[in-house]
Amino acid sequence: MVNDTTYFDTAVAFIRSLGITVRFETLPADTFLPGILIAQGEIIADKNQLLFPGDILHEAGHIAVVPAAERATLHNDNIANRPFREAEEMMAIAWSFAATVHLGIHPYFVFHENGYKGGGPQMADEFIAGRYLGVPMLQFAGMSAEPHQAFHLGRPAFPQMAKWLRD
């Protein structure tokens, strides 16, 4: 099963190893994603309300892809108003897929049937097939490289990452 507790624990350990704080607290019932939110660059999760544990990797992706100087200001309420929000969303999607590959977690853990307006599994299937979304922006930020440009840039080819946090 892709919502396995082991996957969640592995994801949390990985996120924390990057220096992103993950805290467990009681949250209000009206969070954008059930049982999880970003506050001041940290992830707060409520295990009693968390419907889709894989969402934690996507939220970590949001934190990871913003410039380091802005990371601590990131909050659920301001993500949608960021100047490059569309690019950052695509980067977070690609980042979370790369994280599943890195961790040996099935992509459907993040790209579940209730995510991405019901298109999560199809999105995962596209990534698995090598049809990548968001990788040019990760490349621009120096975090990875499109496979056809990796050698020239001296960076690992996506889904491998040169670095997990944007400078």
How many Å apart are CA 107 and CA 96, to the nearest integer? 9
Query: Exposed, middle or buried by CB within 10 Å (0-12, 13-18, 19+), for 103?
Result: middle
Per-domain residue ranges for the chain? 5-153
Predicted structure pTM score: 0.95
At 5 the pLDDT is 87
d(CA 98, CA 96): 5
Q: DSSP characters for 33-71?
A: BTTEEEETTEEEE-TTT-S-TTHHHHHHHHHHHS-GGGG
- pLDDT on residue 161: 98
Residue pointed to by tokens 């990796």? 150
Q: Which of 65, 40, 56, 73 is nearest to 163 (CA)?
A: 65
Helices and strands: H and E segment counts in the chain: 7, 3
The model's pLDDT over 38-71, given as tens digits with 9 standing for 90+, comes to: 999 999 999 999 999 999 999 999 999 999 999 9
CB-based contact 4:54 (threshold 8 Å): no
- pLDDT for 101 equals 98
Per residue in 5-24, pLDDT (tens digit) is: 899 999 999 999 999 999 99
**Average pLDDT, whole number, for the chain?**
95
Task: Report the C-alpha gap between 102 and 109 in whole angstroms.
Answer: 13
Residue 3 in this model has a pLDDT that exceeds 90: no
pLDDT band at 4 (very low <50, low <70, confident <90, very high): confident
